[in-house]
Chains A and B, each alone.
Chain A
Amino acid sequence: MDHTTQLQKLKQEAISAINDSPNSKQLEQIGVRFLGRKSKLTGILRNLKDIDPESRKQVGSLANSIRQELTSKIEVKLAKHKLAELSASIQSDKLDLGLPAIPSLPAKVHPITTERAIIEDIFQRMGFTVHQPYLIDDEYHNFTSLNIPEGHPARDMWDTIRVDENLVMITHTSSMQNRLISQVKESGKPVRAIVPGKCFRNEATDATHEHSFFQIEGVYVDKGIKLSDMIGTLSEFLNQYFQREVPLKIQPTFFPFVEPGLEIMMPKPGTGSAEAEFDPETTDWMEVIPCGPIHPNVLKEAGVDPEVYSGFAWGLGLERLIMIKKQINDLRYFHSGRIDFVNQF
């Protein structure tokens, strides 16, 4: 076969392939097959010197014109393919760019944070200042100054976590009492303070016990403070916190730093509605606020004369109070680190 016939045949083959190409990718491969480095057409153009001089010019010019024609046909067909492919993908993706983005939830505040703020606010409105405890403190502040002497069996009431020779992780926010009451002597003014803070005990954890938990301490020292002042202050606090009149009962208990030691009790929340009908005959009571008039030894140790000054103190469990208000049945949720818990508030 002579070159001219060969070239015509190649041209028909190529045009046919180009027209039959199903997509842009296949077309690009066809382009390589017919116009690439290893294609027959390129081979002929390279080896023109091997052809006799009379037909060389003719073959060369035909080959070049075929090449130009194929290149432009490929270009056109490729453009057609690409356009068709683009509209197909627009149809199939159905991506509506006009819609708003998938919402990412803003962070939720942990109930300990919100409820603590509510409680601080209630007491601040009553004239109490808010203080932070040292989470690690010395034995004097955590025990000795609170009428809990070294070597005394009363120390066994707390499963203390020791840090060093003389340092402990605070077992109660009462560790700040000595410092706060000392201000009375220095300033001559009464002290009214609350201390929200984290406390630590070597406890086995269960539905009502944790090793790390929050307390809110309260101290009020002035001249002429009476037991009725304490009951009035704390019952008003409970009414404000629960946003209703909370029935109360008071029962004796024991702590070395108050005398008498008392527990303020409220009715156990019933199943179902948060405010069950209160019936004094059948109600089940639970402790909420351990409290009491400050023991004279604690006042004396803080430099205050118990014959002149008196006061009261309390230490309520924050998680416990929240569990009552929000009907949470397991204390361990609070410090579990579970986002699905926090998201419910």
Chain B
Amino acid sequence: MEEQFIIEKLKNPETRQYGFNLLTREYQERVYWHIRKMVIDHDDADDLTQETFIKVWKNLDKFREESRLFTWIYRIATNECLNFLSKKKRKFFVPIHDVAGELASKIDEGHLVSGDEVQLKLQKAILTLPEKQRAVFNMKYFDEMKFDEIAEVTGTSVGALKASYHLASKKIEKFIQGD
């Protein structure tokens, strides 16, 4: 569905609810998977996805069309993930690597997780990246977003993102080959 069509519906108070319905149907899966890859656990991803769309709804008037609609939504979703992971660390006084370890153990538990050994190894390798770098890697590698789109989500320059992705790829390959 054309993004502009949804935006026009959202702008009009009379069709706003209808436009938001279209928006959630259009983007909910992409947003869910973006979040799920960050937080691993389905229940956490479910909560954060709902929170993301509630924030989108509450802040519709703040969308200025200076960025694309889906990058704006992705930005909200990414911030929800980063805040969630940050609170996790603070709440339990868990150092960074332990949060990554906790997330890796969720992969091992196998609840709504199944894949071959290489796929699981890749996911654990990605978990060794710092959260922001992980988000960038996921958006580029799995979502195949363009760097200028990722730049709208993260507010980072394209050059920095390219460098970040390149380094992340090298780190992941090294982690996997190291086993």
Indicate, yes or no, whether A interacts with B.
Answer: no
Please list the residues of chain A having a beta carbon within 8 angstroms of any beta carbon in chain B: none
- On B, residues with C-beta under 8 Å from A are none
